[in-house]
Structure 1
Amino acid sequence: MATRRGATLALGLLAVAGGALAIGQDTCVAFQSSSTTFTVVKSGKAAPILLSPDEWPGVQRAAFDFASDIQSVTGVKPTLTNVTSSPSSSNSTSNSTDSTAYGSSGTAIIVGTLGKSSLIDDIVNRTNIDVSSIQGKWEAFLAKEVANPLPGISSAYVVIGADKRGSIYALYDHSEQFGVSPWYWWADVPPKKHNALFVNASGCWHGSPTVKYRGIFLNDEQPALQNWAKLKFTNGTGAALTGSPFNHFFYTKMFELLLRLKANYIWPAMWSSAFCVDDDQNQPLADWYGIVMGTSHEEPLMRSLPPEWDLFGKGPWDYSSNQQNVYDFWKVGAERGRPYEGVYTIGMRGSGDLPLAGGAENIALMEKIVADQRSLFQEVFNTSDMSTIPQVWALYKEVLGYYEDGMTVPDDVMLLWSDDNYGNIRRAPTPNERNRTGGSGIYYHIDYVGPPRNYKWITSSQIEKTYEQMSTAVNRDATKIWVVNVGDLKPYEMHTEFFITYGYDASKWNYNNLNSYVTGWAQREFGFNSDDAATVAAIVHNVTQHNARRKPELWNGTTYSLINYREADAVLAMLRATSDSSNRLYRKVSAEMKPAFFQLVQHPVQATLTLQEMQVAAGLNNLRASQAAVIANHYKSEVERLFRQDYSYEVDYHTLLDGMNHMMDQTHIGYVYWEQPLTNSMPYVTAVQEDKPSLLGPMRLSVEGNQGVWPGDNKYDCSAGYGCPDPTLTIDPYNVFGDRYVDIDVGGPGTFSFAVTSNAPWVKITPTQASLSPSNPEQRVLLSVDWSKVTGVESAHLDFKATIQNDSLYSTRSISVTLVANHTVVPGDFHGFVEGDGAVSIEAAHAARNTSVQGLTWIELPGLGKTLSGVTPWPRGGEELNFTAGAGPSIEYDFYTFNTKSQKGHVTITAKMSPSLNSLGDDRPLGIALQVDSGAAQTKYFVPPATPGTLPAAWDGLDGWVAASINDVSFDFVVPPGAHTLKVWMIEPTVILQKIVIDTGGVKSSYLGPPESIRV
């Protein structure tokens, strides 16, 4: 990867000050001078940067970056000097009374940490700067212009951190606003150039972050990150004992990125890697930079597992049978970490990140393990005050079960609640758990290896969902520690940054301004204007929503219906339009910017589209082959072409600037169970004989909503599979497409022309005739209705007659299709959604009425979910109110029906809920209530209790809640035809309703459900 420097971004509500953008932070940078600005660079001269020699090394190093950032933006590099305020000081690098140390202007930028920098402390005493807003606060900072801070300096822009990272964040905050992206190296984002730089005299300020420890977990790093790092940072051999490429050259790049993102914590790569063993500079350099070290949920006391145990352990990894050896192993980790800032993972999992062997007795064993680990801390740290040693216990998988079953956890230990590996938080602190002195936090995933299937190839999580889940964590005080599993880090750059940005300052963000995060990000990374930035936001939303509907590793040829609701067509149309937008911007950006745009936007779009087109083409190949249509061979060729194209995009990524090789090595096609395939394998395709005529002539006819084909027997033509009648199609005025279709295909080598006639004048046929051949093998015929000519239910018979060339058996062939038109009518005074095609489908956000109770109301979470958005009771947190049906906030939908299921008076109403979990515990299961008109409300608690430490059975599997990204909750109601009101009642606070489907007998199989009904 090229060592570039790049672009700027900053605030949640996009703030602009003289051209500086701010995402998640206050703006204090300008590019034009005014009476209220301080000059950083002007006319080829830069204000010098001054620090005290006794400043933290990490701050000194960040100041070097700060000076280099200014140079990358302006071409002018400021001097960077260590000074003291006293001329008699023996360790002064430069005498502060000598104005040449500060440049000829008599101005300077002075950087330092309260209580650490003698220079800053002296300036505070001299000038009485009010530092009370940051004094003693974790990672806070302020910056402002100060007059006469030191002898010889008439004015200085003073940057003060409350602690080491406060100072570092202040510098990187300014660098970002100057025009340097945190991803300048990791994503090759070039800098935004400016001839001059200024800062507002009033400066910037930031208090303590929302979340104390904010970090990432590099995990499942083989094959992509590990192979890339081996080429980039080693001679190909890696560490002596493990072969790992993750040496200090790699990690210092990672540490800088984290600090620029305003993260402070990391769980290092663990598989075949040992952070402290692979390179003895890793651990001290992390501390030197200012990064808090930890180890993952299954790696106690700063020891990397499994490599370190495999190298140095004695006997089995089993505390019940090998206590002393395991204890001694842990002691080395604690002693090794003692000089440095760290958060110690406690507890224990079994070998290979599996549960401990044993049953209920594991609780007693785990309590002994934790007690012994804390005794070890007392010995190593020579203290009895355990609260001075940050400790975290990860309640991951079965470990949560120990806690739920009553395991005692010391009060000063941070509890790290986990999601279900798919972004749904399993448990958050209940009100009585929020007073623990250790606090709690969240372990979250945007990459995962495990059932029901790995997802680690490409971005497939929505920031909208991450916001919804993590905002609930904020409201429930789970803010001591956040860790996000980012897999290989790339290609999750934007999502990783959003997670950290939200943890840094949650107050900047709400459900209505998430889009501004993406537009601001696009402006920072690519320098786009507001229109192009909005296009990027739409691109990112479309791709992430699509991939989050079902992880790409779970796609197949029939994920999206090929015959119902034109679903696959609609999905591909959206992705193709998104691809067109991305291509337009890719052509527009400069050559220097293209590598960054390709990595961050273009590649995810094109790779997603290619894979989805491949899967749909494979599905159509199999469908048309079953219908004896030669176009199956075209789709086979398309699958083969797209399979090659998938790899070509990988090659394009790997050859970017000659620096990205292997970063897209992850296989993603051909899964047969949860674990990754060892190579990509093309979806199954077949071929039909093109040279042999179909047994019943060359014309093959299929109709919308049916896998069958005519003429001839086909298992899908009717339930018997043979002797089936000619096809029938039905249509009503509230069909959302306004027509039906019939597909005419070529079967064999024959050439024919066909014409369509009808016995009813109200049928509109487009086209009425066409000629087909093996080179032009398919024609779609649309059938619509002139409803002004139809009363009630009428039928039309359409004759599809083929005239066949050079066929000794058939010269003509006719197939009849019946079109039934049901002219349903809605009363003129009705307003709401109307049944069409035997269903009413409603996006949850499109309610007619919304009623609040006790300050809670249903609000829309824009963009969340599988189709449009979701609605949920808001605000979260607080008293954690729940209600019985009829007592809480409600949201209402008006609908009109003409039918019931089998005309027996019943309908099925399905509430499509996000696959959230019982995060307040199984004694508070998620529930929702539905009521039709004034009838009795029905309540369903749709996430059943599970054995502690496990998930409900329906969560799992390739068709389970999490794979499908939806939980369908169905209710049966007696609803006669006519106008009705559906009322949805809040029962529990964190439910998310995405869509409502009312089945009156016509709902067909599909992944997304029927498209939204017509609303009058």
Structure 2
Amino acid sequence: MLGLLPLAFGVLSSLNIVNALGQTRCVEFNSSPSSFTVVQGGNAAPILLAEDEWPGVQRAASDFADDIQRVTGIKPSLSNSSTPASGASKPIIVGTLGKSSLIDRVINATQMDVSPLVDAWESFMGMEVKNPLPGIESAYVIVGADKRGTIFALYDLSEQFGVSPWYRWADVPVKQHQELFISSSGCAHGTPTVQYRAIFINDEQPGLTNWALEKFTNGTGSPGDGSPFNRFFHTKLFELLLRMKSNYFWPAQWSSAFNVDDPENKVLADMFGIVMGTSHEEPMMRSIPVEWTLLGKGDWNYTTNSDFIYQFWVNSTIRAKPFESLFTMGMRGNGDLPLGESTNIDLLEKIISDQRVILSNVFNGTDVTTIPQVWTLYKEVQGYWEDGMKAPDDIALLWSDDNWGNIRRFPLESERNRTGGSGVYYHVDYVGDPRDYKWITSSQVPKMYEQLSLAIERDAKRIWVVNVGDLKPCEREAEFFLNFAYDSSKWNLTNLDSWVFAWAEREFGLDEEKTGMVVDVIGNLTKFNARRKPELLNATTFSLVNYREAETVENQWDRLVNVSTELYNQLSKDAQPAFYQLVHHPVIASANLNKLLITTGKNALRASQAFLSTNELADTAEKLFEQDFDLEQAYHSMLDGKWDHIMDQTHIGYYYWQQPMTNALTGLARVQSRKQVLAGVMRIAPEGTLGAWPGDDMNNCPAQFSCPNFTMTLDSFDPITNRFIDVGAGGPAPFTFKASTNASWLHLSTTQGSISPDNLEERVWLSVDWDQVQDGDNFAELVFTPSAADGPGLTVGMRTAAVGVNFVATKLNVSNNFHGFVESAGAIAIEAAHTTRNNSVEGVTWAEIPGLGRTLSGITPWPRSGANGRNFTAGEGPSVEYDFFTFNTIQDSGNVTVVTHVSPSLNANGQDRPLGFAAQVDDLPAQSSYFMPFAVPGQLPDVWNDFVANSIVPVNMTFSGVEPGAHTLKIFMIEPAVVVQRIVIDTGGLKKSYFGPSESVHV
């Protein structure tokens, strides 16, 4: 069950034409007749720019020259001149259309066709041009439609040369090449899919703040708020953003104020080419709560203090006027809270009206509709919109997710013609209910793709913002978000894992086989952390007794650690720090946390079962707890402490949603190591029960005392093909034991053993020789008999008290012509992607999203805009079928319960289009489920915290009149955007666990 899942990484041949994570490759490392020489024979092509070029382009060109030197060791000259230095005849000419006089000359001299760039946003083109200027034989000419188009063109080449955007921020080594060439036809890119693409630094304490205090200040930060986020921090971040084709930024807010902390912040952002904004709850370029705390007077209340707040916004608008900005409109309560109860739609409409008057006045009567503005429909603010609040058509609507990566609503068809467009505010980090998740990466690229591709389809493409928290734990996910926003056309269901493959190949330079291993590690790391966020785990999240769930989880992490360690050890020393930050530390730290919490659960269980191993488990838990800090320190000490404090985030010992003030391990149990258990020297714990024998235990039977022997069962179709019994010490007295059975078909892994304080437990495995048993139930009895030497306080009964265990082996058969999934132990489990038949209707079919979800993957109707985006009547839409065979029904009633595990998704299609699907068993009436309750506008359903905590929505449907035998289950599409991960059919034996049974045997 739930093994280490190999994740196919798409059609690898596609990587031959994909580089720089989605860009068409134009860089070569060997000369060809159709290539332009950048570096060869120790010489580099000079770089020419016009003196009147944008300062940000001039600065990026300097980075470009440095990048060439990083790759080849040769630094090209960089000059504001129309002729190359030192007589070189083949330069690289860089410039922006309509801004660079040098580019104007080239276009006039060559009639170069730049029509694709005219009035285009952030587009660029590059090609070799003959005789571009007098005295220049040929040149590689880079032209940007605007300043960021030119900047992106330069950084795109740098990335293809071998400089990762994360060369500084994650210490990715630069790939070395002696020679560099660009194909003469060059690289080009049109207008990005999403116009404004941003990250939001948020929840920045403790990691990023403490790190920046150490690295960029004298430890005190700026006056007033102590913020470390000054020009030295931001300029390095701006470069990273531009290298990832981001153009927009929401700065940290909780203990900093971008425009106040360092007067150069805003100047440098504009010079670099970054459009500045403020978060969803910080209107008019003001940092809230910090600037209000520093500069505000009175209450943050527009009803009682509008005059002061109005002027407060006037001043910040004047401050922002010289720089490229995107203004956040509206108003929330101070500190990212809802406004007061007296707030109403009329007031909010007045607030936005007044804000637009401010914009018009400050911008000297400029048409306010031409000034970029956004209103974020976050939490209760969405409710204002849905309750009828009006907002000017040119203001972009930013639809929010639920803070857990599930978009609350997409623009309806009637909302898609707004001139301001719409977009998405998304989270890969969050502080709030049901629990903070900040410590380590726990968002899946497939899940992000599933939600964000819906945003593309529904035309939410004006603005995308991703909340990345401290940034460092979420590097890969932040880049996927920005990369998909930059060009969504590159990625689809058939090549999604190719993005991760290309990312891993770029960062670590491994061969194809090992890069594929990295893809598997990353896919499983994020899957394991996403199925329940690390901060939400506890000692009993995973069942300790059913379906070997906890042990399977431990084994999964062990295998992942082994593979990651193998890869880490094979990397060169200069590549290991990047792999450690981006892959290995998240793996080993997450594995350690899971093992710690499972061990504490086993500790409590063994204490209740009166096993002396309780204490050993407590010792192991304490070691794992301390090892958690060791791993944090290892991260902080690498590279001479470059990333000190980045992993300061606490993550163990949550009591409620907010982070604990320190990691705390509570509740470890101990037993008295010198005291014998009352019932005897030996303890027996059969698989499948919380109880233990001999003696009384509340879990041994409903009566809780004088319980009979435990009965173990195994049938011939169980995917777990054996059982075990743990034999352990009930005190300090050593003993030997013998195990015997009265059935020749029941095989024991051992028939004797020795237990002592040095060997506290032994596991006896039980297996059945199915060739020796008859059809139906076969009964056996096992007896475990201890033998201990006489000792203080030990009676004869305590030394020799035998324990019996009953065993029932059930041999089952299915029809010879049946092919499908077979019931075992009263349940059938099916991964949704393992369909028997997939039936399309009107061009829509169910398609697999590889790697999505808790176990294997998810399936969803595709294309989601197929059949004109319409819905279907239950039983008439595209369907998937699963053939299954049952031996039982619930209490012989003829009833079975189908539990469909659906991804948490909200009713994002609108009030009249709730998410829904239908299920049908055989020809019984199809049952519909609109499984997601609606909530008050702007709120979430009451059950939502449970759904996102468990990363699944279980949908139960009971079907009557299902006799034992062969059957077919059908799942029908009703609405698009439903994602089904798994199906469990309960025929009367389903046990409590987090995931459910292992997938059933398929014959």
Query: Shorter-chain-normalised TM-score: which range?
Result: over 0.9
CA–CA distance in structure 2, aligned partners of residues 897 and 181 of structure 1: 55
Bigger CA drift: 468-477 or 723-732? Answer: 723-732
- CA–CA distance in structure 1, aligned partners of residues 637 and 703 of structure 2: 56
Residues in 2 aligned to 1:629 and 1:108: alpha-carbon distance in whole angstroms: 78
1:803 to 2:792 alignment = no
The answer (yes or no) to whether the contact 1:752–1:804 under 8 Å persists in 2 is yes
2:956 aligns with one of 963, 970, 979: 970
**Structure 1 equivalent of residue 147 of structure 2:** 164
Specify the code of the residue in structure 2 equivalent to 1:955: W
Q: Which runs of 5 or more structure 2 residues have no equivalent in the other structure?
A: 1-10
The worse-fitting range, judged by mean Cα deviation, of 468-477 and 562-571 is: 562-571
1:636-785 aligned at under 5 Å gives the runs 636-657=618-639, 658-785=641-768
Structure 1 equivalent of residue 308 of structure 2: 325
Determine the structure 1 residue equivalent to 2:921: 932
- The answer (yes or no) to whether the contact 1:48–1:103 under 8 Å persists in 2 is no
Structure 1 residue 384, shift from structure 2 partner: 5.3
Structure 1 unpaired stretches of 5+? 1-10, 85-95
Q: Which residue of 1 aligns with 2:6?
A: none
Match of 2:824 in 1: 836
Q: 2:974 aligns with which of 977, 987, 990?
A: 987
Question: Could you tell me which amino acid in structure 1 is paired with residue 136 of structure 2?
Answer: I
In 2, the alpha carbon distance for the partners of 1:362 and 1:201 equals: 61
Indicate whether 1:564 and 2:551 are aligned: no
Residue in structure 2 matched with residue 367 of structure 1 by the alignment: 349
Does the Cα contact within 8 Å between 2:20 and 2:156 map onto a contact in 1?
no
Q: Which residue of 2 aligns with 1:577?
A: 559
Counterpart CA distance in 2 for 1:510 and 1:768 is: 56
In structure 2, the residue matched to 1:961 is: 947
Structure 1 partner of 2:807: 819
1:228 positional shift: 0.4
- The aligned residue for residue 472 of structure 1 is 454
- Could you say what the CA RMSD is over the residues aligned between the two structures, in angstroms? 1.2
Alpha-carbon distance between aligned partners in 1 of 2:136 and 2:532, rounded to the nearest angstrom: 61
Query: Which residue number in structure 1 is paired with residue 272 of structure 2?
Result: 289
Match of 2:898 in 1: 909
Provide the residue aligned with 1:920 in structure 2: 909
Distance in 2 of aligned mates of 1:741 and 1:919:
47
Distance 1:48 1:662 in 2: 42
Instruction: Find the partner of 1:63 among 38, 61, 64.
Output: 61
Instruction: Tell me which residue corresponds to 1:8.
Output: none
Kept in 2, the 8 Å contact 1:28–1:204? The answer is yes
Matched AA of 2:224: L
What's 2:48 paired with? 50
Q: Corresponding residue for 1:22? A: 20
What is the CA–CA distance in structure 2 between the aligned matches of 1:152 and 1:750, rounded to whole Å?
Answer: 96
Greater displacement, 823-832 / 788-797: 788-797
Report whether the alignment pairs 1:38 with 2:43. Answer: no
In structure 2, what is the equivalent of residue 89 of structure 1?
A: none
Aligned-pair distance for 1:737?
1.1
Which amino acid letter does the alignment assign opposite residue 55 of structure 2?
P
Q: Distance in 2 between matches of 1:329 and 1:469?
A: 38
1:12–1:24 CA contact under 8 A, matched in 2: no
Alignment check: 8 A CA contact 1:258 1:264 kept: yes
Q: Distance in 2 between matches of 1:754 and 1:554?
A: 41
Contact 2:46/2:88 (CA < 8 Å) preserved in 1? no
Q: How far does the alpha carbon of each residue in 1:294-323 deviate from its partner, in whole angstroms, 9 at most, with x for none?
A: 000000010001111111111000001111
Partner Cα separation in structure 2 for residue 881 and residue 852 of structure 1: 14
Cα distance in 1 between the residues matched to 2:409 and 2:247: 24
Is 1:613 equivalent to 2:595 in the alignment? Answer: yes
- Aligned residue among 383, 388, 393 for 1:411: 393
CA 1:12/1:259 → structure 2, altered by over 3 Å: closer, same or farther? farther
Residue 683 of structure 1: CA displacement? 4.0
Q: How does 1:256-405 map to 2 (within 5 A)?
A: 256-358=239-341, 361-383=343-365, 385-405=367-387
**Cα-to-partner distance string for 1:601-647 (whole Å, 9 max, x where unaligned):** 11000100110010011000000011110111111111110111100
Are the equivalent residues in 1 in contact too, given 2:826–2:987 (CA < 8 A)? yes
- Higher mean alpha-carbon deviation, 134-143 vs 453-462, is at 134-143
1:14: Cα distance to partner? 4.8
Distance in 1 of aligned mates of 2:420 and 2:681: 75
Q: Report the 3-state secondary structure (helix = DSSP H, G, I; strand = E; otherwise coil) of the residue aligned with 2:239.
A: helix
8 Å Cα contact 1:713-1:723 kept in structure 2: yes
* 805-814 vs 447-456, greater mean Cα deviation: 805-814
CA deviation after TM superposition for structure 1 residue 756, in Å: 1.5
Deviation at 1:12, TM superposition (A): 9.9
More divergent stretch after superposition (45-54 vs 821-830) = 821-830
Distance 2:175 2:579 in 1: 14
Which residue in the other structure is 1:870 paired with? 858
Aligned-partner residue type, residue 46 of structure 1: A
For residues 431-485 of structure 1, the C-alpha deviation after alignment (integer angstroms, 9 at most, x for no partner) is 1111111000000000000000000000001011000000000000000000000
In 1: Cα distance, 2:220 partner to 2:581 partner:
28
| Aligned residue identity for 1:375 | V
The SS at the match of 2:622 is: helix
Partner of 1:5: none
Measured in 1, the distance between the counterparts of 2:15 and 2:427 equals 30
**Alpha-carbon distance change, 54 to 500 in structure 1, aligned in 2, over 3 angstroms:** same
C-alpha displacement of 1:133: 2.0
Query: Residues of 2 paired with 1:544 and 1:538: CA distance?
Result: 10
Cα distance per residue 1:337-367 (max 9 Å; x no partner): 11111110000001221111025x5211111
C-alpha separation in 1, matches of 2:874 and 2:90: 68
User: Among 829, 833, 841, which residue is 1:845 paired with?
Assistant: 833
The amino acid across from 1:798 in the alignment is: L
Kept in 1, the 8 Å contact 2:543–2:994? The answer is: yes
Structure 2 letter corresponding to 1:826: V
Deviation for aligned residue 1:104: 3.7
Is the CA contact (8 Å cut-off) linking 1:836 and 1:1013 kept in structure 2? yes
Taking the aligned partners of 2:336 and 2:846, their CA distance within structure 1 comes to 41
In the other structure, the counterpart of 1:892 is 881
1:1011 aligned residue: 998
Matched, 1:179 2:162: yes
Three-state SS of the structure 1 residue aligned to 2:854 is coil
Q: Counterpart of 2:429 in 1: which secondary structure? A: coil
Give deviations 1:249-293, integer Å, cap 9, x for gaps.
000001000000000011000011000000000001100000000
State whether residues 15 and 498 of structure 2, in contact with CA within 8 Å, keep that contact through their aligned partners in structure 1. Answer: no
Residue 441 of structure 1 corresponds to: 423
Is the CA contact (8 Å cut-off) linking 2:192 and 2:487 kept in structure 1?
Answer: yes
Matched AA of 2:915 = L
Aligned to 1:7: none
Opposite residue 820 of structure 2, the aligned amino acid is G
CA–CA distance in 2 between the matches of 1:12 and 1:160? 32
Question: Which one-letter code corresponds to 2:926 in the other structure?
Answer: A
Output one character per residue of 1:229-256: Cα deviation in whole Å (capped at 9) or x when no partner: 0011011111112110000100000100
Q: Which amino acid aligns with 1:797?
A: E
CA shift, 1:877, in A, is: 3.2
One-letter amino acid of the structure 1 residue matched with residue 445 of structure 2: I
Match of 1:532 in 2: 514
1:861 aligns with 2:849: yes
Determine the C-alpha separation between the residues in 2 that align with 1:12 and 1:835. Answer: 38
Q: 1:12 to 1:926 in 2, by over 3 A?
A: farther
Indicate if the aligned counterparts of 1:15 and 1:27 stay in contact, CA closer than 8 A. Answer: no
Could you say what secondary structure the match of 1:501 adopts?
helix
Q: Secondary structure at the match of 1:546?
A: helix
For residues 213-232 of structure 1, the aligned pairs below 5 Å read 213-232=196-215
Deviation of 1:719 after TM superposition, in Å, equals: 1.1
Cα distance in 2 for partners of 1:582, 1:758 equals 43
Are 2:889 and 2:963, in contact at CA under 8 Å, matched by a contact in 1? Answer: yes
1:547-570 per-residue CA deviation (whole Å, 9 max, x = no partner) reads 000000001111111111011111
Letter matched to residue 961 of structure 1: F
